[in-house]
């Protein structure tokens, strides 16, 4: 039995993509959520050897019972699977069935909701670092349903910092610069240039993550990052929002609805390019989305679905020349795929997209991509005053280590951690 399990685990380790991301591979899978339990806005991060719990949930629109399994795949700093036996980094079983499920109730849309609380006592990561959680059917890894990133941290570095305005005049009012330090403890010795790596996330996004940032100074066990040209992000603007907590009581962003016997369609008010609009502060959830309702006890298996029609006005009723436009947010995994591309409608002069969304509260924005160069931009504008959350991840790899250890995590908010600023 142990030999069989080891062979299966080895197959999982080998039969993976060169680089894995947050992706959904089956069209019947919707509303994948992976976060710290009771905190839908959080990164899926587990502190090693603690009682931390993570919630993993999703809906199967086939609305029947299936055998879904999950496993952990340890990756390096760049999210490439490492060449280690799973038994070197997993305590317990390498494959685990998701046994908690509920048929949808109250909702017009039929689905089966699955969830698991991780880590389970029968499957627990034992090393810090980057992991991919793979969910698949029938204990067969070739039937991959979806993948999600997992961060396992062994806190040996204390990260502190603040947000300042960049020095360069053309970025002074439009970008945000991180100035931070990492105090490393519990590591006998290290070479900052060769063994320590830093990743910065803006609003929990991986698509624009900043990597390979060299320290400006090294003072003993403290690494300081304060160069003029590092840690600078376009500030953006507060995210657009969509409130689907009630399908009967339409929110401000809904223009009209069509209510059918077994389904609901909602048509949003037409969006416009906000790049030239003045900055106005309002509380957003930094691109995330929450599964929640006004009219049910448990939104995960009682929340309904609706087909939501998005529309965006092109410049002067014409398309953006030489650019594709994409709907983006955590619910799209910030992936610029055909599913999330806004299609231009010649008859209406609008970019349009429709998608199937569960009841909740959503943040989103629009991203453009140049058809020739691939360069991306947003239709939101950039203002230094924008509230953004930044996560700083510190990795360490000893000269004899076979993967990158995640030894530190710190969070900085552009409104709370700004010198001389109060709000």
pLDDT one-digit tens code per residue, 196-243: 999 999 999 999 999 989 999 998 889 999 988 899 999 999 999 999
**Res 164 pLDDT > 60:** yes
Residues 185 and 288 both lie in one domain:
no
Dihedral sign, CA of 186, 192, 195, 201? positive
Model pLDDT, residue 326: 98
Helix (H) or strand (E) holding 7: helix 2-14
pLDDT score, position 341: 98
352 lies in a domain? yes
Same domain, 139 and 164: no
Is the same domain home to 332 and 291? yes
Say if residue 189 is in the same domain as residue 300.
no
Are 124 and 110 contacting, i.e. CB atoms less than 8 angstroms apart?
no
| Residue 237 phi, psi dihedral angles, 5° rounding | -145, 160
For 337, the domain range is 240-378
Asked if residue 401 belongs to a domain, the reply is yes
pLDDT in tens, 104-162: 999 999 999 999 999 998 999 999 999 999 999 999 999 999 999 999 999 999 999 99
41 and 181 co-located in one domain: no
The token pair that represents 364 in the structure block = 């989103």
- Do the domain assignments include residue 330? yes
Q: Is residue 421 one of the residues assigned to a domain? A: no
pLDDT, greater one: 387 or 188: 387
Q: Are residues 215 and 309 in the same domain?
A: no
- Predicted local confidence at residue 421, as pLDDT: 47
DSSP characters over 242-265: EE-S-SSS--TTEEEEEE-SS-EE
pTM of the model: 0.92
Measured in whole angstroms, the distance separating CA 169 from the mean position of its chain's CA atoms is 32
Q: Chain-wide mean pLDDT for the chain?
A: 92
DSSP for 265-322, please give it: EEEEPPB---TTSPP------TT-EEE--SS-S-HHHH--EEEEEEEEE-GGGSPPTT
- Which position has the higher pLDDT, 269 or 417? 269
Listed residues 153, 179, 207: the one ending a domain: 153
> Residue 420's pLDDT is what?
54
Q: Are 284 and 243 in contact (CB under 8 A)?
A: no
Rounded CA separation 36/43 (Å): 7
Query: pLDDT category, 9, cuts 50, 70, 90?
Result: very low
Last residue of a domain, one of 132, 153, 174: 153
CB-based contacts of 240: which residues, under 8 Å, 6+ apart? 271, 363, 364, 365
| Residue 244 bridge partners (DSSP) | none
Model pLDDT for residues 316-335, shown as the tens digit of each residue:
889 999 999 999 999 999 99
Q: What is the CATH number of the domain that holds 100?
A: 2.60.40
Mean pLDDT of 393-413: 94
- On the question of pLDDT at 12 being above 60, the answer is no
Q: What is the pLDDT of residue 418?
A: 73
**Residue 38 within a domain:** yes
Looking at the fold, whether 204 and 124 belong to one and the same domain comes out as no
Q: Is it the case that residue 423 has pLDDT exceeding 70?
A: no
Residue 255 has pLDDT above 90, yes or no: yes
| Domain count of the fold of the chain | 3
Same domain flag for 135 and 205: no
């Amino acid at each position: 039995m142990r030999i069989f399990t080891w062979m299966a685990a080895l197959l999982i380790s080998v039969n993976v993509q060169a680089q894995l991301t947050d992706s959904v591979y089956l069209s019947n899978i919707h509303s994948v959520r992976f976060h710290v339990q009771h905190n839908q806005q959080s990164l899926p991060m587990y502190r090693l050897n603690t009682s931390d719990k993570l919630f993993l949930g999703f809906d199967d629109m086939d609305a029947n019972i299936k055998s879904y399994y999950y496993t952990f795949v340890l990756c390096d700093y760049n999210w490439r699977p490492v060449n280690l036996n799973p038994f070197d980094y997993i305590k317990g079983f390498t494959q685990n069935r998701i046994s908690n499920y509920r048929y949808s109730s109250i909702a017009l849309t039929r689905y089966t909701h699955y969830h698991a609380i991780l880590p389970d006592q029968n499957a627990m990561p034992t090393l810090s670092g980057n992991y991919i959680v793979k969910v698949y059917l029938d204990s067969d890894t070739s039937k991959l349903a979806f993948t999600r990133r997992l961060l396992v941290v062994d806190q040996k570095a204390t990260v502190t910092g603040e947000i300042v305005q960049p020095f360069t005049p053309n970025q002074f009012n439009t970008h945000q610069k991180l100035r931070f330090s990492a105090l490393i403890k519990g590591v006998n010795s290290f070479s900052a240039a060769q063994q320590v790596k830093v990743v910065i996330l803006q609003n929990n996004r991986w698509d624009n993550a900043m990597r390979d940032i060299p320290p400006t100074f090294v003072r003993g066990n403290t690494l300081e990052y304060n160069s003029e040209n590092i840690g600078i992000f376009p500030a953006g603007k507060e995210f657009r929002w969509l409130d689907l907590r009630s399908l009967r009581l339409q929110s401000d962003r809904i223009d009209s609805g069509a209510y059918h016997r077994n389904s609901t369609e909602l048509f949003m008010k037409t969006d416009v390019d906000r790049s030239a609009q003045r900055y106005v502060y309002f509380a957003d959830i930094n691109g995330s989305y929450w599964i929640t309702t006004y009219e049910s006890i448990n939104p995960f298996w009682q929340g309904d679905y609706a087909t939501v029609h998005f529309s965006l006005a092109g410049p002067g009723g014409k398309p953006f020349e030489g650019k594709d436009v994409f709907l983006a947010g955590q619910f799209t995994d910030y992936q610029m795929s055909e599913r999330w591309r806004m299609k231009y409608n010649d008859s209406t002069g609008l970019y349009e997209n429709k998608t199937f969304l569960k009841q909740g509260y959503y943040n989103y924005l629009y991203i453009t991509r140049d058809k020739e160069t691939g360069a991306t931009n947003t239709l939101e504008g950039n203002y230094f005053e924008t509230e953004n959350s930044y996560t700083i991840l510190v990795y360490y790899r000893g000269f004899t280590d076979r993967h990158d250890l995640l030894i530190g995590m710190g969070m900085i908010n552009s409104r709370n951690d700004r010198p001389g600023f109060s709000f």
